[in-house]
Amino acid sequence: MKNSQLFESLRTLNEKEFREFGKFINSPYFNNRSEVIRFYEAIKKFHPDFNAEKINEEMIFKSIYPAKKYNDVLMRKVHSLVLKLFHNYIVDLKLRNDRLHYELELIDSLRERKLFNQHHRKSQNYNNFLEGSKETMEVYEYKYKSEQKLRLIYEGFASQVEKSRNSLEKLYAFFFSVILNEQLHIMNMTSDRHKQVNVELFDRIVTFLTDSEFRKRPLINLYYLMVKLKTTDQSEYFHDLVAFRNENSAKLDKEHIYNALIILLDYCLVNIGNGNSEFRKKMFELSDTLFTEDLMNEDAAEPITFTNITSNAAFLKKFYWIDKFINKYKGYLHPSDKTSLLNYSRGMVEFEKGKYTEALKLLSPLNLKWTNMKNDIKKIMIKCYYELGYFEELILQIDSYRHFVNNVNTAENMNRGNKNFIKYISRLNDCRNSNDHLSAETLKNEVERSEFFYHKEWVLSKLEEFTKL
């Protein structure tokens, strides 16, 4: 009972909400069971932790039913009643905080009761509120719904036609915003067009929007540019999206600004992976925008985004900034992954600081579930062993990484780059072990001519160091 759903639920309430829940329980409108009120009074001292070691069920039962012997069935019934009230409270709380929904339901209720003067006044205020709101899909949705619910049957024919046209236009705006967002979400999960939904229809919608008046709506144009960047990889859409976001951020909700930044960060990563190192600075500038405008929240703190940002900043030696970023957003990481992700980020920082032993201590115990992070850890460990002169460990780590690359499923260009890294670090180590400067010079020329692979700059720098000895 101590670890019941009820206590798990009550832990989610902050101090203000828990006090308000007490008032909710004490209201005869919501609750007419006195034992529930006594239960709340008995347990409130245990909030917010509801520590199982401190909760004595029999003592709580005695507070509820002083004259009765402890009865587990009766206690479970009280738990069930309070849990039901908790569910009612959080729905009520959400509704009260959702002005879009609450006000529209109020207006519709006034219409149903034929309180037309109040209906008219509330309708005007609601429309003004919608027009002044930042653009979100929810606002588009409620603009459409408002046209449906604010319409009155006694209005003239011309007014009805005009409102129907407005309603249809708002429905289109809602439709386009949702379609673009959902299809973009699928694109982010898979690049395989065969796994995407109604591709031909979606392509026709995007073509229609290209010269459409709907692109004057900031949210639709934002997602249109995001889709075009994702599907074409053309730099013009990158620059257009950056400029549009900067010019329209005051009109857009944080969620959608964040989504645009993620698409831009992904584009930077692709270009960095293709050897365009100037995108490292652009990626950091976008990361700093995300940080400065406080766009990341608990729902948006994706592990891969978090570590990509910290890894790139570490490469650029932005150590003070990384500390601020981690301290600000570490609380948003999932508890089961938090320690590993923070050690991963800090391990990258320690490596870039030249503290290779500390980096190994942080990275070597990690067993992360994300393939790209596993790949990065193995490469950084190879580099640490090389820097520290741990020759046997280096050879073993290279061999371990070779098996990893051969058994993991990655994109063709990434797999080719990983194998090039293995080939060149192995030959670099052979040159150093045999003190063969001539072979190192030949290898350096070969690496310079090779296609880009991650850590190519580092391999070249180590060859440069060795050939100058």
What digits encode the pLDDT tens for the residues 442-462? Answer: 999 999 999 999 999 999 999
The yes-or-no verdict on residue 308 having pLDDT over 80 is yes
Q: How confident is the model at residue 192 (pLDDT cuts 50, 70, 90)?
A: low
pLDDT of residue 399: 95
pLDDT of residue 37: 94
Burial (CB < 10 A; 0-12, 13-18, 19+), residue 294, is exposed
Calculate what percentage of the chain has a pLDDT beyond 90.
Answer: 62
Q: How confident is the model at residue 142 (pLDDT cuts 50, 70, 90)?
A: confident
pLDDT of residue 327: 94
Q: How confident is the model at residue 30 (pLDDT cuts 50, 70, 90)?
A: very high
User: What are the b/e assignments for 352-367, b being 16+ CB within 10 Å?
Assistant: beeebebbbebbeebe
Q: How confident is the model at residue 352 (pLDDT cuts 50, 70, 90)?
A: very high
Q: How confident is the model at residue 343 (pLDDT cuts 50, 70, 90)?
A: very high
Neighbours of 384 (CB within 10 A): 25
Going by C-alpha positions, the residue among 337, 395, 384 that lies closest to residue 361 is 384
What digits encode the pLDDT tens for the residues 35-78? Answer: 999 999 999 999 988 887 788 888 999 999 998 999 999 999 99
pLDDT of residue 213: 92
What digits encode the pLDDT tens for the residues 358-390? Answer: 999 999 999 998 999 999 999 999 999 999 999
pLDDT of residue 135: 84
pLDDT of residue 283: 97
Long-range contacts of 431-437 (CB under 8 A, 24+ apart): 431/463, 431/466, 432/466, 433/391, 437/466, 437/467, 437/469
Q: How confident is the model at residue 197 (pLDDT cuts 50, 70, 90)?
A: low
Residue 153's contacts (CB-CB under 8 Å, 6 or more residues apart) are none
Name the phi and psi angles at 415, rounded to 5.
Answer: -60, -40
pLDDT of residue 157: 62
Region 327-333 average pLDDT: 91
Report how far residue 368's alpha carbon sits from residue 363's, in angstroms, rounded to the nearest whole number. Answer: 10
pLDDT of residue 159: 66
Task: Transcribe 161-211 into DSSP letters.
Answer: HHHHHHHHHHHHHHHHHHHHHHHHHHHHH---GGGSSSHHHHHHHHHHHHT
DSSP state of 68: S
Instruction: Identify the three-state secondary structure at position 135.
Output: strand
> Six-digit token pair at 140?
């588009």
Q: How confident is the model at residue 156 (pLDDT cuts 50, 70, 90)?
A: low
Instruction: Identify the three-state secondary structure at position 252.
Output: strand
Contact call for residues 432 and 444 (beta carbons, < 8 A): no
Report how far residue 75's alpha carbon sits from residue 61's, in angstroms, rounded to the nearest whole number. Answer: 7
What digits encode the pLDDT tens for the residues 61-120? Answer: 999 999 899 999 999 999 999 999 999 999 999 988 888 888 888 888 888 898 888 988
- CA distance to 89, 355, 358, 384, per residue, from 350 (Å): 47, 5, 6, 10
Q: What is the CA radius of gyration of the chain?
A: 30
> Six-digit token pair at 61?
């039962």
Contact call for residues 415 and 434 (beta carbons, < 8 A): no
User: What are the b/e assignments for 147-186, b being 16+ CB within 10 Å?
Assistant: bebbbeeeeeeeeeeebeeebeebbebbebbebbbebbee
- CA distance to 172, 205, 454, 461, per residue, from 272 (Å): 38, 31, 9, 18
User: What are the b/e assignments for 217-244, b being 16+ CB within 10 Å?
Assistant: bbbbbbbbbbbbbbbeeeeebbebbbeb
Name the phi and psi angles at 187, rounded to 5.
Answer: -60, -40
pLDDT of residue 436: 92
Going by C-alpha positions, the residue among 293, 217, 202, 227 that lies closest to residue 255 is 293
What digits encode the pLDDT tens for the residues 428-446? Answer: 999 999 999 999 999 999 9
- CA distance to 2, 185, 205, 216, 441, per residue, from 209 (Å): 56, 19, 6, 10, 55
Q: Is the preceding peptide bond at 48 cis, omega within 30 degrees of 0? A: yes
The yes-or-no verdict on residue 351 having pLDDT over 90 is yes
Long-range contacts of 76-81 (CB under 8 A, 24+ apart): 76/1, 78/35, 78/36, 78/39, 79/1, 79/4, 79/5, 79/6, 81/33, 81/35, 81/36
Region 13-32 average pLDDT: 94
Q: What is the dihedral of CA 455, 458, 459, 462, to 10 degrees?
A: -170
pLDDT of residue 139: 84
Q: How confident is the model at residue 260 (pLDDT cuts 50, 70, 90)?
A: very high
| Mean pLDDT of the residues in the chain | 89
pLDDT of residue 53: 78
Region 22-45 average pLDDT: 94
What angle is formed at CA 465 by the lines to CA 460 and CA 469, rounded to 5 degrees?
145
pTM of the entire structure?
A: 0.77
Report how far residue 43's alpha carbon sits from residue 13's, in angstroms, rounded to the nearest whole number. Answer: 14
Report how far residue 309's alpha carbon sits from residue 280's, in angstroms, rounded to the nearest whole number. Answer: 10
